[in-house]
Each structure stands twice: as C-alpha cells, then as structure tokens.
Chain A
Amino acid sequence: MTTRMFGQSITRREDPRLVTGAGAYLDDLAPGVLAAAFVRSPHAHARIRDIDVAGTLDVPGVVAVWTHEDLPGAAAERLPMLLPHPSISSPHTGFALARDHVNHVGEPVAMVVAENRYIAEDACGRIEVDYELLPPVVGLPAAREAARAVHDETPDNVAAHHVQTVGDAAAAIDSAPHVLDLELEIERSACIPMEGKGVIARWNSEDRTMVVHSSTQTSTGLRAALAAKLGLALTDIEVITPDVGGAFGVKINHPWPEEVAVACAARALSTTVKWTEDRREHFISSAHERGQLQRVRVGFDDSGRIRGLDVQFWHDNGAYLPYGVICPLNTSTHVLGPYLVPDYRVEFWSMYTNTVIVTPYRGAGRPQGVYIMERTMDAIAERLGMDRTEVRMNNFVREFPHPLGVIMQDGAEGVLDSGDYVASMDKLRALVGWEDFVEFREQARAEGRRVGIGVACYVESTGAGPYEGGHIEVETSGRVNVFTGLTTQGQAHATVFAQIVADELGVPIDQVHVTTGDTRKMAYSVGTWGSRGAVMSGNAVHLAARKVKEKALAIAGDNLEVDPGDLEIVDGTVRVKGDPSASMPLSAVSVLSNPLRYAFDESAKAATQFARPPAPGAPPVTPGRAPGLEDQDFFSPVRSTFASGMHAAIVETDPDTADIRILRYCVVHDCGPMINPLVVEGQVHGGVAQGVGGALYERMAYDDMGQLLNASFMDFLMPFASEVPHIETDHLETPSPLNPLGIKGAGEAGTIPGTAVIAAAIEDAEGIPIRRMPISPSELWQLRRETADAPAPAAR
C-alpha cells in the first residue's frame, strides 16, 4: 500500500537546487546583457521643468537614455488602475517615467541603458533634472487636513471613501450598558523581501516576439499588462517567473514602471535589457503598507458581549492607487474576527500622501483590522475587570456557516465557513499556560521584573478566486509534468502540489515535476496573493489529476479489456483491483494515448498504426478523447474560505530602560488539513517573525519633507535571529466545505495578529494603554513618563 503523500512532512523538492547555489533568480539569468538604471526623484513633490541628458552622451558604454517623451503609444499613458471599486472617487496612477510631476521620493524620472549597471549608474549621475519644488503632504494628519493636495484634481486627498453596515450599530451602541471609545494608530512597514524586484525583457526581432522574465507574483497579469502597454498581440509575449527571493505581497502590483520602461527599451534596441532593483530602490520605489489612524466606538453588555461596533479609519495609500482599496477593504472586513457582532458599521477613507505607494504586505490590511478588534476586546475586559480570554470566549461565533453581512475583496459576501474558536482558545490557554501566568508574574515581580501576557485572535479570508488551473501531462517515460499558472516565492509549491498529484494519480512523487508562473505552460491564472496558492492551485491540480486518471483508466481499460471502474493506479501502474497480474505501467498508457505514425523510440512502436490498428470502422483517436495522456481543469470557488488562529505572547519590559523582550510566543493555527505540516510550520514561523518586526522594530521614518530617513538595512530594523523568539505551535485541522481538499490558506496567518498580541502583552506588563504601534523602548519610556502623573491603573 502506497503511503498517502497529503499530510506528510516530506522535505522540499526544490531545496537541493537552492541550497547548492544552483537556483536561478532573476539577476542570475541572461549574463552580460544590457543593464538599465533609473534616475529617481529626490523630492517628494515637484513639477519637472526640464530634463537635461546631454551629459550622458560622452559616458563610454551608454547605449540609450529614456525619458517620458521617448515612451511609445500606450506605454506613455498612465499605469493601469488594476482593481476598480465603487468606493474609488479619485483614481490616480503614475507613469512608467514621470511626465511632468513627481509625487514621491524614488519615483522614476529617466532610464539609462548601458553595457553594465556600473556604467548605467554613472550616466544617471550626469542627468540633470530641473524641479520646481512643491510642498509635500506627508502622513495621515496632513492628508486629512488637506491644507495641501498631492494631486491638484483631488483637493481633499481622498482617493476612496467606503461604508459598510450590518444592522444599526449606532442604535445598538446607544442602548448598550457600556460604551467605550478608542483612538488607535498603526505605522507603515513593508514586505522587504531579500531579493528586490527585477525584470529582463528579450525582444526577438526575427519573429517580433518578446519573452519577459520578472520576479512578479503574477506572470499572467504582467503578460496582459505589458501586451497592452506595448501594443503587442498577447500571443507575441510570454512572461516567465524564475526563482523568486521572497515577495510577501510587494511583487503582486504590476506592471511596475520599470517593467514597462525596460520592455520598451528592449524592443526599441532589438535586444535584451535587464533591471535588478537595489536595496535603496526597493525602499523608496516599491511599496509599503499598514499605516492607518483608527477610531472605534463599541457598546457591550455586562458579560463583555459586543452589542454594536462602529469603526472609522483613515488609510495612507501613498502617492498613487494602482492596487485600489484592497488593503483598507480587508481591514474593514476583518475587524469582525471570530466574533459575533450583531450590529456593525465601518467607514474608511483611503488618502493620498507624497510617499511610496501602498499595496499589500503579508496580511494586506488584515493585521490592522485584528489590531482594532483585539485592542477593543482588551479594553472591554479592562473596563469590566474580566479575564481577557473569557471576554473573547463570550463573543465567539459558534455556529457555521456564519454570514458576516459585509462584502469582501473578492466581491462576495464573507461567510465564516468553518472553524472551532472555542477549541482553539482552549488549546492556546493550555499551550501558553494562561492560568499559571499569575504565579509567574508574582515570581517575576518579587525579583524586580515586569512581565505581561497578551492574546489575540483572528480569522483570515483565504483562497479568493476567481480561479486557478492545473494542466497535467504524463510523458511516455512516465514522467508527470504539472503546470499551474501562479508563481512561487518560497511556498514549496514544487513539493506540495506534487504531493497532491502523486496521491490522486497514484504515482511516486519522484515522477512528478511542477512548473509554476510560466505563461508558455499555463496561460490562464491569477497569481499568488492572499494565502491562495494551496487552496486555488492545490485544488486545481487535484481536479486535473483526477481527469488524467480517468483518461488513463479508460485507455488502459480498452487495452486490458476490462471495465475502467475495476482498475486502479498504484505506484505508477494501472492494475485490476484485486488482480495485480493484469496491469500496465502508466508510461505504456501514455504511449497508447497518442496514436502514432512514427516510432520515435522503442516504446513508441506500440502506438503505431500496424502495431495497434484501430477497431474496424473506428477512428484511431476515440471520439471525445484528445490525444496524449494529459488534461487540465480549473478550480473556482464560490467564496473565500476562512482560516483562523490565536496567538499568545509573554513579554518582559525593563523597569529602567523600557527594553522589550519577548519571553514566549505561542501559536494555535487552523488552516484545515495540512498538505505538508513542515511547510505550514515554516509559513507560521516566518509570518510570526514579520509580525514581531512590525510590532517592535520596523517603521518607515519619513521626515516632514517626505524623505525616507531609514531606507537601508542599517536603519530599517528588520529582525535578525536575535530578535525573533522561539515559537511554540499547535494546530487544529477544521476542514473547509468550500473545496475538494478541504484546505484553507496558511501564508499570511503568522503575521496577522502579531501587532495586536504584542501590544496586549506590553499593556499587561505596564498597565498603560497601548494605542500606537509599533512601539520602541524609547517610546515606551516616554509613555511611562506621560502617564506617571496620571493615576496609575490597578495592577492586575
């Protein structure tokens, strides 16, 4: 009996390549081709009066210099608004190269193409841009105040305004026994993958086609966008995503200005041009996320049950809005968490500022929503003098499906489809030792130490549509090729999709080879975002494998002269159930699936016309059955499936220095049945590290003039191993009813409650309300001083 691969913690099939230096990341490809470098705006807000490129012409090795006026046709028009939404009143996007205005430091203004990057950067230094400086709008307070506008056409700086209501929140709050108001803030952070963005465009002048390699999260999306920008037939351009050194959301936006400009240059020069983003470029010209100001009003009863919740927030979307309102929409729909909120109103404004654009970063607005609700839960518990887990327990949704009454990012109403929040909380309390903490705190206090514990719960809509596909072909060697269109940035797709296909097709996993993100192999796909890879492509390859299996059984049934229903595939061999002697290998089925005229090798002889004449009067290819042992299928869910989880953290704060240390970090996680627990654990670990970074270390330090002061790894404090605590995990596997495999997404979960749980633990240690995150030791020290004169809250 073959072991089922689904659920096995097998090691990753991609690793031998990656650990030995044999990976092929974008900058590893196409050695020696022309390199592009960009002149970027040093100003946050300015009008371009003139660009003088004359100085570049005598730099040896320079091939071409481009400004906006060199961009042809649609490439000179604004970049697309990718995600239109009714709430967007003022959609502004930028240009591939700035036309007449720059709206953030780092915006591309000119491009140099040269023999190599060193020379291209030399030449960039010779380009003189004459700017007329305009006062910038930096930060949400300035955007709201609207004394100045980012875009003249939008004097109030409001890009989008959106309201969703369930019931009558105001009335429910007014009639509630208790009411609380909270003002909250969360600052900017960013994905910061170890590999920046990059693109290689190769124009083939012989057949006038283009092949683009990009470290994108959507090769099909980029292909369509570049075809539109370059005026190419879709069939004349292909996009391939090679190994990608992390993404976390930032590589989903497309086309990036550089992708358009480099592709234009490659075609104009009839050659190959490469651009590899450097670290400073990534900080000032990719994308950030998270920054919001939030206002909460909640009404609740004596047991802490929420009667009504009214949330308003302002979301900083930066200079342009190419990715629409996905992040604030996620915030607004994920506030509700695992809780029953009978009456809810949420209103948000997405605001322009003269800073880097804002697009999804792992969690994509969800961490802010969880922060809103979990800060609120703790405030309710504090007001009522109740245990914080008890307040949450009293509010949990316990019956499924549970419709939320709000429309999600996929256009469908959110419905909590499955989960067991009570069991999750029980597990978390046991894992962290919630009951024992009182004693631990007393011990610590006796030693002059200050410790606190926090808890945060979340749900996450995962596996959003519209669809993904799988195409599977079995070669005559028995090799199984699996193609799915979404891309890979470290999620072990080559392993987990192979596990799924190996099970369904009945072949050894070593025979299964997965290719992702290559439009030549699978032209229909959406992309990798929103914890959807396993749910969408996992189910798609599962369905495709089922179809290939049915085809294999039909062909083998014809040849073994048995009913296909009596056949099974085990270890790559089709055999009669209960009679393994009547069998044929899948490789032989593949040979027979494709009637041949020409025998290309020994095995192929079996499929030629005289070796296997068709039945009298029948065509060689059975009607309704295409040649080849291959097929494809697509998975398109009716709605997103909700994963869930709960985190607990114990922190210690230094009574003198306010240094903050995480002593323990516990995770209970439910993404349904796990395809590969090793991989899921890894996703949780990485997510937690980004959550910790976002809570304690990472922020985008803009000055009043819109200069990003910490655009380097020296100054942006990404956690090293010394900053990330040991992570303790436990799992529930509550299956989803929304897809054949019953799975839910796992990619973002680890990050989502990070800020909320750390804030809760610090608040518990300090007895000071924490309303602004991230928090540094100096900020905590300052908070202590500010609250020193105020009456101290009773120590728990």
Chain B
Amino acid sequence: MSSEPTSTVRLSVNGVDRTVDVPDRQLLSDALRHTLGLTGTHVGCEHGVCGACTVQLDGRPVRSCLMFAASAEGHEITTVEGLGNGPDDPGPVQQAFIDCHGLQCGFCTPGFVTTIDAYVRENPDPSEEEAREAISGNLCRCTGYQNIVRSVCRAAELVPEREEDA
C-alpha cells in the first residue's frame, strides 16, 4: 500500500459540509471526481487552459486542476451537479444549454455551465458580443461556440425567472 502524506480537508461541496482525507498532492479536480464521486467535473488538459474542470470557489469560477484539494480547506465549492437537481430537473443554465443545442459531446459543458452561472449573476443582460467574451476562456471542440453564445443569452433570461419562481 502507498504511504503518501495525506491531509484532512473540511470543505463545503454543493452546500453539503464534507470532510475528506486526501493525499497532499491530489488536485481538487481529482478529489472531486475520485474521492467524492462527483464525476461531472471533467479534466481536459490538466494545465488550466481548457476550462472543462471549472468549478465555483466561493461563487467564483476557478480551474480545479490548478488547485490542490488541500487548498480548498474552508471554502465553498459548487460543481455542475450543484447547479441543478439532476437530469429530471436541470438548473436554469443547464436548461439554456438544452434549449439552444449548446452541447454535442458534452465533455466541456460542465465547465461552461459553472462559468456562465457565475457570469450571468453579475451580468444579467449580456449582448451577444459580451456573451462571446464571457466564454472565451473555455475550449469546446464540437459546437464552434455558436450555440454556446446563444446559451449564455438564454441563461441570462432563465436565471432570474427561476429565482422569481423560487
């Protein structure tokens, strides 16, 4: 058996307080996926460029492949699973992607969803140009981004609607 140094980390994930023992060198992305079983967060490059692994750290989008899990001590993490209630009840940004055909293979989508959720909360009425700018830090190889831009604008409509309903 391996005998790596580990740390006990307390953090909040999707609103639930968790305590996990992780190897000190384990990336947050790997801890979410392999230790906590939240496989919605995807790993596309492991060097912080593609954005597939984006999660919200205290509400702000961060690359979970560029952070150690141990560094998340005391923070609130929101993953794609936390931005909806599963396939039967997708969240507003998730629904926007469905409405606009904003995904094909879906591998990059969780990173876009977490990024856009944070964006539209601060920018409730983006123009198409602003929407394009907002997603220009994430890579997608399938869609040519056309329908992701539309998804941003649609999400900006749906997020406040859902919050009013709530």
Q: Which 7 A-B pairs have the closest CB atoms?
A: A21-B40, A245-B107, A18-B106, A490-B105, A689-B144, A490-B104, A61-B2
Q: Does A777 contact B (CB under 8 A)?
A: no
Given contacts A118-B23, A727-B144, contact A23 B40 (CB under 8 A): yes
Whether A727 and B132, one on each chain, are in contact in the complex, defined by CB atoms closer than 8 angstroms, is no
Q: Which of B41, B106, B113 has its CB near the most chain A CB atoms (within 10 A)?
A: B106
Q: Does B49 contact A (CB under 8 A)?
A: yes
Whether A21 and B41, one on each chain, are in contact in the complex, defined by CB atoms closer than 8 angstroms, is yes
Given contacts A20-B90, A490-B105, contact A686 B143 (CB under 8 A): yes
Q: Which residue of chain B lies nearest to A28 when distances are taken between CB atoms in the complex? A: B39
Given contacts A61-B2, A722-B132, contact A690 B104 (CB under 8 A): no
Q: Which residue of chain A lies nearest to B50 when distances are taken between CB atoms in the complex? A: A713
B-chain residues with CB within 8 Å of residue A32 when the two chains form the complex: 34
B-chain residues with CB within 8 Å of residue A22 when the two chains form the complex: 40, 81, 86-87
Whether A21 and B2, one on each chain, are in contact in the complex, defined by CB atoms closer than 8 angstroms, is no
Whether A194 and B2, one on each chain, are in contact in the complex, defined by CB atoms closer than 8 angstroms, is no
Q: Which residue of chain A lies nearest to B107 when distances are taken between CB atoms in the complex? A: A245
B-chain residues with CB within 8 Å of residue A28 when the two chains form the complex: 33, 39
Q: Which of A18, A195, A713 has its CB near the most chain B CB atoms (within 10 A)?
A: A18
12 A-B pairs with CB atoms under 8 Å apart are: A16-B98, A19-B84, A19-B98, A20-B94, A21-B80, A115-B2, A194-B142, A279-B47, A682-B101, A690-B141, A721-B140, A750-B144
0 or 1 for each of B76-100: is its CB under 8 Å from A? (1 = yes): 0001110011111011001101110
Q: Which among A278, A279, A678, A721 is the interface contact of B145 at CB below 8 angstroms?
A: A721
**Chain A binding surface, main DSSP class:** loop
A-chain residues with CB within 8 Å of residue B132 when the two chains form the complex: 721-722
B-chain residues with CB within 8 Å of residue A193 when the two chains form the complex: 105, 107, 141
Q: Which among A19, A682, A718 is the interface contact of B90 at CB below 8 angstroms?
A: A19
B-chain residues with CB within 8 Å of residue A492 when the two chains form the complex: 104
Q: Does B11 contact A (CB under 8 A)?
A: no
Q: Which among A21, A678, A689 is the interface contact of B39 at CB below 8 angstroms?
A: A21
Q: Does B38 contact A (CB under 8 A)?
A: yes
Whether B34 and A31, one on each chain, are in contact in the complex, defined by CB atoms closer than 8 angstroms, is yes
Given contacts A115-B1, A721-B148, A724-B144, contact A27 B43 (CB under 8 A): yes
Q: Which residues of chain A from 50 to 82 have a CB within 8 Å of any chain B CB?
A: 60-61
Whether B42 and A25, one on each chain, are in contact in the complex, defined by CB atoms closer than 8 angstroms, is yes
Q: Which residues of chain B from 26 to 84 have a CB within 8 Å of any chain A CB?
A: 26, 33-34, 37-47, 49-50, 52, 79-81, 84
0 or 1 for each of A721-742: is its CB under 8 Å from B? (1 = yes): 1101011000000000000000
Given contacts A15-B97, A22-B40, A713-B45, contact A246 B81 (CB under 8 A): no
- Bound-state CA distance A17–B88 (Å) is 8
- Bound-state CA distance A192–B45 (Å) is 11
Output the least CB separation between A32 and chain B (Å).
8
Whether A279 and B101, one on each chain, are in contact in the complex, defined by CB atoms closer than 8 angstroms, is no
Output the least CB separation between A773 and chain B (Å).
19
Whether B50 and A243, one on each chain, are in contact in the complex, defined by CB atoms closer than 8 angstroms, is no
Output the least CB separation between A713 and chain B (Å).
4
Known A-B contacts: A714-B47, A727-B146. Give 7 more (CB < 8 A): A16-B88, A19-B113, A23-B40, A27-B33, A60-B3, A685-B143, A686-B141
Whether A718 and B106, one on each chain, are in contact in the complex, defined by CB atoms closer than 8 angstroms, is no
Q: Does A679 contact B (CB under 8 A)?
A: yes
Q: Does A635 contact B (CB under 8 A)?
A: no
Whether A20 and B40, one on each chain, are in contact in the complex, defined by CB atoms closer than 8 angstroms, is yes
Q: Does B103 contact A (CB under 8 A)?
A: yes
Which A residues are closer than 8 A to B by beta carbons?
11-12, 14-25, 27-28, 31-32, 60-61, 115-116, 118-119, 191-195, 243-246, 248, 278-279, 489-492, 678-679, 681-683, 685-690, 712-714, 718, 720-722, 724, 726-727, 750
A-chain residues with CB within 8 Å of residue B41 when the two chains form the complex: 21
Chain B: interface size category? 35 or more
The A-B contact count (CB < 8 A) is 193
- Bound-state CA distance A61–B1 (Å) is 5
Q: Which of B45, B97, B137, B148 has its CB near the most chain A CB atoms (within 10 A)?
A: B45
Whether A14 and B106, one on each chain, are in contact in the complex, defined by CB atoms closer than 8 angstroms, is yes
A-chain residues with CB within 8 Å of residue B81 when the two chains form the complex: 20-22
Output the least CB separation between A684 and chain B (Å).
8
Q: Does B138 contact A (CB under 8 A)?
A: yes
Output the least CB separation between B158 and chain A (Å).
12
Q: Which among A15, A192, A682 is the interface contact of B143 at CB below 8 angstroms?
A: A682
Given contacts A713-B139, A722-B132, contact A60 B94 (CB under 8 A): no
Output the least CB separation between A19 and chain B (Å).
4
Output the least CB separation between B106 and chain A (Å).
3
B-chain residues with CB within 8 Å of residue A750 when the two chains form the complex: 144
Q: Which residue of chain A lies nearest to B23 when distances are taken between CB atoms in the complex? A: A118
Whether A713 and B47, one on each chain, are in contact in the complex, defined by CB atoms closer than 8 angstroms, is yes
Output the least CB separation between B24 and chain A (Å).
11
Q: Which residue of chain A lies nearest to B131 when distances are taken between CB atoms in the complex? A: A721
Q: Which among B25, B49, B147 is the interface contact of A685 at CB below 8 angstroms?
A: B147
Whether B105 and A246, one on each chain, are in contact in the complex, defined by CB atoms closer than 8 angstroms, is yes
- Bound-state CA distance A19–B81 (Å) is 9
B-chain residues with CB within 8 Å of residue A18 when the two chains form the complex: 103, 106, 109
Output the least CB separation between A748 and chain B (Å).
13
Whether B141 and A246, one on each chain, are in contact in the complex, defined by CB atoms closer than 8 angstroms, is yes
- Bound-state CA distance A156–B11 (Å) is 62
B-chain residues with CB within 8 Å of residue A712 when the two chains form the complex: 45, 47, 49
Whether B105 and A244, one on each chain, are in contact in the complex, defined by CB atoms closer than 8 angstroms, is yes
A-chain residues with CB within 8 Å of residue B38 when the two chains form the complex: 21
A-chain residues with CB within 8 Å of residue B33 when the two chains form the complex: 27-28
Q: Which among A20, A116, A246, A713 is the interface contact of B107 at CB below 8 angstroms?
A: A246
A-chain residues with CB within 8 Å of residue B79 when the two chains form the complex: 21
Given contacts A18-B109, A20-B90, A31-B34, contact A279 B45 (CB under 8 A): yes
- Bound-state CA distance A245–B109 (Å) is 10
Q: Which among B50, B133, B147 is the interface contact of A194 at CB below 8 angstroms?
A: B50
B-chain residues with CB within 8 Å of residue A14 when the two chains form the complex: 106
A-chain residues with CB within 8 Å of residue B47 when the two chains form the complex: 279, 712-714
